[in-house]
Structure 1
Amino acid sequence: MPAETAGEHTPKLVGVAWGLLILNTLGSAGAQTIIPLPRSLIQMVTMGSLVAAFVVAVAVNPRLRLRPSALLLLLTLLLVPSVIASANLEAGFGALFRCGRFALFVATLWLLSRWWNGDLTFVRSHIRMYFAVLGSVAAGLLLSPGAAMPDLYGGRLVGALWPLTPPQIGQYAAVIIGLTVLLLLGRRTDRASAAVIIVPSLFLLALTHTRTATLGLLIGLLVAIGSLVMTSAAARRFFAWAVLVAAVAAVAFGSLLQAWFLRGQTQEYFTSLTGRAKVWDALLAAPRTASEQLFGVGLGDKSYGGLPIDNSWLAVYHEQGLTGIVLVSAFIAVLGGVALLRQPSLSRACALFLISYCAIASYTEAGLGDASPYLLHLALAASLLAAPAVPAPAAPSPLPYAPRRRVPRWARGSEVS
């Protein structure tokens, strides 16, 4: 379908639909909340938000004008092994329900792709919505510190008003910190507004003790700012100051940083990635049929033997097989390749940050093969890498009548009748 012109105004309902997609991916499992919320109610809210996002997307794009996207094409193809494996009902009827959810999620992204033109509209919606989620986490911490930092999670910060786990909170905080820093460097926001986002988000990230989110933030910013160093003096200054501060912190607070990083775990438990390696070994050692190797066992809850897989690649292999691994690898490679080929810009830097963060987090977090925040981060990166649509040249309008040759007044008397 034809893309819209680059100067088209993005309706506010587009941001509403994006926010509803974020609400859908918050999940329904997590810590105990101050006011107990039935899981059925939480699932009703999250699934209802996805349906509402699709309805809003259709309402704002009734002619179904879409923007070509390699990411969305590959996600659509990823539905094929998901449905083939889920149809066997090895993972139960819930697998088919998850396929329907994934299809609706991808369809909504297709409808919103009409406004993917490389600008920062979706970045701002992304930051606002996740900051609102973090606001609920901070409110829960103020209302009930004990419920927000329970012993069950080793004193790490959880969602006390909405069931959110420490890795989720760490992910949301890290992503909006990185994007806000880049907006500040690109002079798309002022220091006061950036501080309102960055300072409390850093505080919440520290309370989660989430190593993956912290490493993803640091490495993602390193890649993104590195892409701006040659063209931005502000990026060069920030890079120099960041290296200096990191060196001073490593010397002055090395023992504290090490204690925060280890979270009181033994060296053996830390090297086994908090017990994840045992689940991974068991998953890889399990016998599989040829069909299961090719298409997986169907969309599930990203667990094996009752324990979370916590690795996107193994989760995709388990649920969507080698076909899913190929498709996920393809869209990561395509996004990374397009980002590297783009000219240095703020949009490119934001996209590189998101791609780098998702690639790092995929090692200890699941979500690249199903509707998840990680796919929303990558969809945001795809919107930033989309080239602005070039308006079609206006066709010359035909003259309504043939012009008449005017005769000078002095010559009118000499005309032959």
Structure 2
Amino acid sequence: MHGAVVEMTAERTPKAVATVWGLLVLNTLGSAGARTIVPLPRSLIQMVTMGALVLAFALALAVNVRLRIRAGAFLFLLSLLLVLSVVSSANLESGFGALFRCARLALFIGTLWLLSRWWDGGTAFVRQHVRMYFAVLGSVAAGLLISPGAALPDLYGGRLVGALWPLTPPQIGQYAAVITGLTVLLLLGRRIDRAGAAFVIVPSLVLLALTHTRTATVGLLAALALAIGSLVLTSAAARRFFVWAVVCAAVAAVGFASALQSWFLRGQSRENFSNLTGRAKVWDALLAEPRSLSQRLFGVGLGDKSFGGLPIDNSWLAVYHEQGLIGVSLVAAIVLVLGTVALLRPPSLARACAIFLISYCAIASYTEAGLGDASPYLLHLAVAASLLATPVAAPVLPVPERPLRRVPRWARRSEVS
């Protein structure tokens, strides 16, 4: 029939894309952290992480040699942030290391542009995100089994650190919280069975508890509540999970109140807890620092997210210090655009996962830095952007009409007779 269409299968994500994503995860693990069982020179770790980023960009370029990309507000705003970072770092107030960090950020964003070809609103990048960070947590668990003393050092107050790769408790807590929340949502969306979900969730929660990371715990609970809330009206499984979660939370609050309070305080005084373990003092000093108009607008250039030799531990203040008020505006625009798009989408698993990632990054930004530079937080937001991308329309091709069959002469004669 003329005008009929042929349904075409969507292009599958190449395995090389998963490799590229794993290399990006490796690049964002960082080079500073706890002492490892086998001492690793920081120069060697930096060589591995930067080599992973260069290899990721080269592999992404090889897979997407025709440079097919999907433009969107997220990548456009990230590119503007890169331009701003180069401008703020050009005067070398933060040294030549600022230009090196700009080059790293350029490769990072360039790789995301190349991968955007496969951003189709599906959960492929969610699954790869969970796999990669679960592998990282596997190395943490292996270090804990091999050398419990090195994995739970007194230097960090007995909190869990990376004994094979230098990872800090907040890093481990972040990875555990993110993959736990995403796996719960995949379970509710029936994209993973219960055994597979338990295999990921149970050890991740154990490692999260051993890190005593309050930001990751609060971020997980709050972001997961928002994500599941977006599914309550359309998913019976989400409603059941929400009810059970409320009941369990009430029981835990009544029966284990003292234990939860001691875990949350981590042996600190209430005064130390109130000023966020000394973070508030660094924040006050940073805000009180005299700055020129140029420094207020553009910052002092990309640095190591520290002020006066102490970590800033706040994404917004770190961006203000390094990229100025313009940088803060761009980062806020990234979060607001992704959040607005997520809220305007109809309820779905992809939307719920995006809401979880955006909410977690927004909550963690108060006590963690990373939204203005290549970091796991930008990877989380990139996954959210891939989930919110409009699915690619399948090409529609007309079915060629069959040629008219020629009627034999004897048939025409019989019809006439």
Give the TM-score of the pair, scaled to structure 2. Answer: 0.95
Query: 1:80, CA displacement in angstroms?
Result: 1.4
Question: What are the residue-to-residue correspondences of 1:284-295 with 2, within 5 Å?
Answer: 284-295=287-298
Q: In the alignment, is residue 153 of structure 1 matched against residue 133 of structure 2?
A: no
Which residue of structure 2 lines up, in the alignment, with residue 273 of structure 1? 276
The answer on whether the counterparts of 1:6 and 1:389 sit within 8 Å (CA) in structure 2 is: no
Q: In the alignment, is residue 124 of structure 1 matched against residue 130 of structure 2?
A: no
Cα pair distance change 1:404/1:169, threshold 3 Å? closer
The answer on whether the counterparts of 1:6 and 1:390 sit within 8 Å (CA) in structure 2 is: no
CA deviation string 1:244-303 (max 9, x = no partner): 000000111000000000001111110101100010011111111111111110000000
Query: 1:405, CA displacement in angstroms?
Result: 6.8
Query: 1:7, CA displacement in angstroms?
Result: 1.3
The answer on whether the counterparts of 1:309 and 1:366 sit within 8 Å (CA) in structure 2 is: yes
- Picking from 43, 55, 58, the partner of 1:55 is 58
Cα pair distance change 1:6/1:74, threshold 3 Å? farther
- Picking from 298, 309, 319, the partner of 1:316 is 319
Which residue of structure 2 lines up, in the alignment, with residue 194 of structure 1? 197
Query: 1:393, CA displacement in angstroms?
Result: 2.6
- Picking from 138, 141, 151, the partner of 2:141 is 138
Matched AA of 2:293: A
- Picking from 244, 247, 253, the partner of 1:244 is 247
The answer on whether the counterparts of 1:313 and 1:362 sit within 8 Å (CA) in structure 2 is: yes
Query: 1:81, CA displacement in angstroms?
Result: 1.4
Local SS of the residue matching 1:82: helix
Local SS of the residue matching 2:84: helix
Q: In the alignment, is residue 342 of structure 1 matched against residue 345 of structure 2?
A: yes
Q: In the alignment, is residue 378 of structure 1 matched against residue 381 of structure 2?
A: yes
Local SS of the residue matching 2:167: coil
Matched AA of 2:232: V
C-alpha separation between the residues in 1 aligned to 2:411 and 2:111? 72
The answer on whether the counterparts of 1:98 and 1:299 sit within 8 Å (CA) in structure 2 is: yes
Local SS of the residue matching 1:250: helix
The answer on whether the counterparts of 1:71 and 1:331 sit within 8 Å (CA) in structure 2 is: yes
The answer on whether the counterparts of 1:6 and 1:117 sit within 8 Å (CA) in structure 2 is: no
Which residue of structure 1 lines up, in the alignment, with residue 3 of structure 2? none
Query: 1:112, CA displacement in angstroms?
Result: 0.5
Matched AA of 1:31: A
Cα pair distance change 1:411/1:268, threshold 3 Å? closer
- Picking from 7, 13, 21, the partner of 2:10 is 7
Q: In the alignment, is residue 64 of structure 1 matched against residue 53 of structure 2?
A: no
- Picking from 222, 237, 247, the partner of 1:234 is 237
Q: Please identify runs of 4+ aligned residues in structure 1 that moved more than 4 A.
A: 395-399, 402-408, 410-413
Q: In the alignment, is residue 409 of structure 1 matched against residue 396 of structure 2?
A: no
CA deviation string 1:136-193 (max 9, x = no partner): 1111111111111111111100001000000000000000000001111111111111
CA deviation string 1:319-373 (max 9, x = no partner): 0011111111111001000000111011110000000000000000000000000
Matched AA of 2:56: A
Local SS of the residue matching 1:363: coil
Matched AA of 1:366: A
Which residue of structure 2 lines up, in the alignment, with residue 365 of structure 1? 368
The answer on whether the counterparts of 1:173 and 1:205 sit within 8 Å (CA) in structure 2 is: yes
The answer on whether the counterparts of 1:81 and 1:296 sit within 8 Å (CA) in structure 2 is: no
Q: In the alignment, is residue 89 of structure 1 matched against residue 86 of structure 2?
A: no
C-alpha separation between the residues in 2 aligned to 1:103 and 1:93? 16
C-alpha separation between the residues in 2 aligned to 1:392 and 1:203? 47
Local SS of the residue matching 2:397: coil
Which residue of structure 2 lines up, in the alignment, with residue 27 of structure 1? 30
Q: In the alignment, is residue 184 of structure 1 matched against residue 197 of structure 2?
A: no
Which residue of structure 1 lines up, in the alignment, with residue 333 of structure 2? 330
C-alpha separation between the residues in 2 aligned to 1:367 and 1:6? 38
Q: Flag structure 1 segments of 5+ consecutive residues without an equivalent.
A: none
Query: 1:68, CA displacement in angstroms?
Result: 1.8
Query: 1:392, CA displacement in angstroms?
Result: 3.4
Q: In the alignment, is residue 351 of structure 1 matched against residue 347 of structure 2?
A: no
C-alpha separation between the residues in 1 aligned to 2:180 and 2:364? 16
C-alpha separation between the residues in 2 aligned to 1:78 and 1:168? 24
Give the TM-score of the pair, scaled to structure 1. Answer: 0.95
Which residue of structure 2 lines up, in the alignment, with residue 17 of structure 1? 20
Matched AA of 1:283: L
RMSD (Å), alpha carbons: 1.7
Local SS of the residue matching 1:247: helix
C-alpha separation between the residues in 1 aligned to 2:247 and 2:238? 14
C-alpha separation between the residues in 2 aligned to 1:24 and 1:93? 20
Cα pair distance change 1:282/1:148, threshold 3 Å? same
Matched AA of 1:95: A
C-alpha separation between the residues in 2 aligned to 1:229 and 1:411? 68
The answer on whether the counterparts of 1:169 and 1:208 sit within 8 Å (CA) in structure 2 is: yes
Query: 1:398, CA displacement in angstroms?
Result: 8.9
Cα pair distance change 1:404/1:211, threshold 3 Å? closer
The answer on whether the counterparts of 1:174 and 1:217 sit within 8 Å (CA) in structure 2 is: yes
Which residue of structure 1 lines up, in the alignment, with residue 397 of structure 2? 394
